[in-house]
Amino acid sequence: MSLAEYRVATDLFAGPMDLLLYLVRRHEVDVCQLRLSEVTSHFLDYLDVLEMVDYEMVGDFVVLGSTLLEIKSREVLPKVEEEQDEEQEEEQSSDLVARLLEYRRYKDAAHQLELRADEWLERFPRIAPSKPPAERPQVVRRIREVEVWDLVSALARIIRMPDIQKTIAVRMDETPMSVHQERIRTRLVEEGRVSFSSFFDNEKLQSRIVGIFLAILELIRHEGYRAEQPVDYDEIWILPPLEQRPD
C-alpha cells in the first residue's frame, strides 16, 4: 500500500498562515511586534512532519518557509547590504505580518460565527426525524480541545526521539487505515483514554506511523473522538466520543 492511499482530509491542516498564526500564539509573540526569525525554525520543524504525512500538499508551506528563511537570513547577516535591500527586507516582512493580521481577523470572525451557530442550535434544537437513518452520516467535526497543530507537534516529538530516528524506515506498510482505526477504537473501549504517544510504541515504519496518525485524525474529525492536553505542550490524550463514556 502506498502513502497516497493514506492521504485523507489533508484540508484539516488548513494552510501555512494557519500554522504561522498557531506558532505566534504558542510562543506568545505579539503579531504587531513579530520578528519572523523567532518562529522560522519552528515552522520548518512542522514542515518536515507535513512532508512525511503528505508531500504533495506542502507546496504553499514550502513557499512560506522559503520566505521566512530569506527574511531570517537578512536579519542575522551583517548589515553590509545597500539601504535599498534593507527597505526591501522590511517591506517583505511587513507584508507578511499584514497578511497574518488579516488571517487572524478572518479566523476570529469565523470563530464568532461558529459560537453563534452553536448557541442557536442549543436554543432551537432540531426535530428528530420519525425514522432514524439506516446509516450514520459522516459528520465533520472540528478538533476543539486540541488543535491539529498540537497533534502534529506531538508526532514531531515522537519521530525525533533518538531510538526512533535511528531505526525509522520508509518501506511501505500494507495495513489499511480501517484496521488502524479499529485498533484505536478497541484500545479506547478497554482503557477509557489512551496517550497519543503510546499508539506509536515500537513502530519503526514511516508509512505505518503516518497511517496511525491519520487514523487518529479521522476518528476525531468524523466520529466524535476527542483529544485533550491537560498541560500545555505536554502529553495529549485521546478519548472516545462522549456518548461512549462509561456510566
C-alpha R_g of the chain: 21
If pLDDT is split at 50, 70 and 90, which confidence band does 97 have? confident
If pLDDT is split at 50, 70 and 90, which confidence band does 139 have? very low
pLDDT score of 2: 37
Domain boundaries, the chain: 1-126, 141-247
Supply the pTM of this predicted model.
Answer: 0.72
Contact 103, 18 (CB under 8 A): yes
- 70 grid coordinates: 530569506
Tell me which of 29 and 186 has the higher pLDDT. Answer: 186
CATH number for region 141-247: 1.10.10.580
Predicted confidence (pLDDT) per residue in 175-205, tens digit:
888 999 999 999 999 999 999 999 999 887 8
pLDDT score of 137: 46
**If we measure between CA atoms, which residue out of 24, 108, 37 comes closest to residue 72?**
37
**Which strands make up the sheet holding 237-239, listed edge to edge?**
194-195, 237-239, 226-228
